[in-house]
A and B are shown apart, each in its own frame.
Chain A
Amino acid sequence: MPDKTFSILYSFRFEDGRTKEFTIELDAQTLNLVRRNEPSPREWTRLQYAKCENCQLSPDHEHCPVALNLVEVIEFFSDAHSFEPAQVSVATEERGYTKKTTVQKGLSSMMGIMMPASGCPTLDKLRPMVRFHLPFSSPLETFYRSISMYLTAQFFRMKAEKSADWSLDDHLHVYKDVALVNRGIANRLTVASKADANLNAIVILHSIGDGIQYFIETELEELRNLFKAYVEE
């Protein structure tokens, strides 16, 4: 067991009064998802079942780590409709958030932590955002956080005397690879899920990746004024 962990608690309260909590425990150093219980493998979690076309894991891995970590969530929400209302509360060490939203948005937010923290080599590149998780973030907030993460990564590469991409050109390649993983996970959901909440949660994450390019090319410029103090110095 890791020495230090931190938790993010997701609580769903549905219109019929039911509640459900998910505690996401993360290693403070590596941000790996910490599993307290034995994993519950299924047919659809096997690595070779609907394997992502860009999977970098060796065949030694019997199960897809992302799918394995999502089993409890997927099966709980298997019959949930995407637009079903829910009050979702998120508690971190720093603060709490509560929002009346839809199941798909709450799920998407939660999966946004669990998937990059699962040990998928492709999704590892999104893991820094897990540390600074912002539940229910708007598209603009997500895009800004993503770009900030990427530029911070380039800073560390520069410090390590490696080539650094300050133009954000290669940022898009990260999300192209992520898109293939999203599709792979979506394919596993065909057997794992009856209704559409789980799938739409993946679609939301997928849409974020698709929107990054256009955010960089269009909306990012609209933020220029906020950085006047740096640009005009």
Chain B
Amino acid sequence: MESKILVVDDEEIFRLTTSLRLKEAGFSVDTASEGYEGLVKLDQGTYDVVLLDINMPGLNGLQVLEYVSANHPDVDAIVLTGFSQMTMAIECLKKGAKEFIVKPFDYADLIAKIQGLLRTRNSERSFKEYQQSWRSTLVYDIFGSLYTVSCILEHLRINAPIGHPNDTQELLSYARTLNERVFERIQHSVNLPELAETHVPMELSAVDLRAILNTICERFDQWAGDKSVTIKRDFASNIPTVMTDLARIEQVFSLIFDSALKHTTGKETIEVRLHAVPKTEQRTAGVECSLSFPGKLLEPQLGSLIFSPSLDQWKEHKESVDFVALSLAISRRILEANDGALSLQVQGSSTTIACWLPEKAPAQSGVLRSPSRAVGA
């Protein structure tokens, strides 16, 4: 796609000639004859670069530049100046202009500057996309799988037959330690406020939540048995189908089940409910799965970190974010990407985690969806 340039200058012949030369170089070009017109075009259009004369009637180039920096930070500004305006040009650089060029100039120089800026932008954009993609992979693909591996290792270690060779025990213990080190790395690299902005790759299909939960309950029955914990099921019969990503929703349930199991001890019960929820004023009709168990899951300050983290809160409490908090934050993000929600309620000494999904998701099957805002506890 052609890069788009806006030329803001009060001299007609200059605008005409610059426009012609830049179009010949392969750019799409718009012009504005004065500062205010330039602002209107910036607000109405999408530009990659703006060429800005400093001295213009009405709004001068510096004033336009301040507006660009505040309202269109993704537009790069090149200031056009004469020698007598070098002090002003330096001022413009301080206020966010990326380059300046002295009139009269060779158009080859101007085009080279523009192409340089565009290359830098493309590199930054590619890097940002790569960073976001990697972050998504780390959080949504690697974390959940590693967590499950950790649980399996623990299960194997606990259930190793008596008289099992010590080296096997040690091997399992060592594997678990390695896993935990990887968890720590992931934990320290995930910024909860940024998590709200990450893209969640999803492939939507019609999912029978009842079948999923039955499978997960059976898996966790074994582990719960290790701790003499009972998983009690209460699944309604009329559960509508939801459109969601099968692997992601399994990941959410696994993380939540494991968090609940970690905080439950012998002879206690985890109650799992699955029921249809009728439409309310706040929500469409949907399906809710809740886990209730005795025990306090999180320290109070971590609750707000999971549901509405500000950067300051994150900076203050990030050292106390543990695996449970991170699991819940990830689960919340996945549900929100599906137009669903996660809630956490503490009543007395009992905790309930609930996942809600809309009965009919708005997107078509197989389409990647963008995230929506949180509906917290």
Contact = CB atoms under 8 A, between A and B. Distances in A.
Contacts, number: 76
B360 interface: no
Given A189-B84, A196-B55, A199-B83, A179 B104 contact: yes
B12 to A, nearest CB: 7
Given A200-B11, A207-B14, 13 more contacts: A83-B10, A182-B104, A186-B82, A186-B104, A189-B82, A189-B83, A196-B82, A203-B14, A203-B103, A207-B13, A208-B13, A211-B17, A214-B21
Contacts of B107: 210
Please tell me the size bucket of the interface on A: 20 to 34
B209 to A, nearest CB: 64
Contacts of B16: 139, 207, 211
Interface in B74-125: 82-85, 103-104, 106-107
Nearest 4 CB-CB pairings of A with B: A190-B83, A206-B104, A199-B82, A214-B20
15 contacts: A82-B10, A195-B55, A196-B84, A199-B82, A200-B55, A200-B82, A202-B104, A203-B14, A204-B13, A204-B14, A207-B16, A208-B13, A210-B107, A211-B13, A211-B20
B151 interface: no
Interface string B272-290: 0000000000000000000
A57 to B, nearest CB: 21
B56 interface: yes
A193 B103 contact: no
Contacts of B14: 203-204, 207
A81 to B, nearest CB: 6
Interface residues of B, number: 23
Contacts of A196: 54-55, 82, 84-85
A194 B83 CA distance: 9
Interface string B2-19: 000000001111101110
Interface string B348-361: 00000000000000
B13 A82 contact: no
Interface in A50-73: none
Interface string A93-119: 000000000101000000000000000
B24 interface: yes
B12 A83 contact: no
Given A83-B57, A210-B21, A210-B107, A186 B83 contact: yes
A146 B24 CA distance: 22
A207 B85 contact: no
A214 B82 contact: no
A7 B170 CA distance: 106
A183 interface: yes
Interface in A170-227: 179, 182-183, 186-187, 189-190, 193-196, 199-200, 202-204, 206-208, 210-211, 214, 218
A60 to B, nearest CB: 28
A134 B21 CA distance: 26
A139 B82 contact: no
Given A196-B85, A211-B17, A203 B12 contact: no
A207 B82 CA distance: 14
B13 A139 contact: yes
B84 A194 contact: yes
A187 B107 CA distance: 17
Interface string B146-184: 000000000000000000000000000000000000000
Contacts of A179: 104, 106
A162 B72 CA distance: 58
Contacts of B55: 81-83, 195-196, 200
Contacts of A211: 13, 16-17, 20
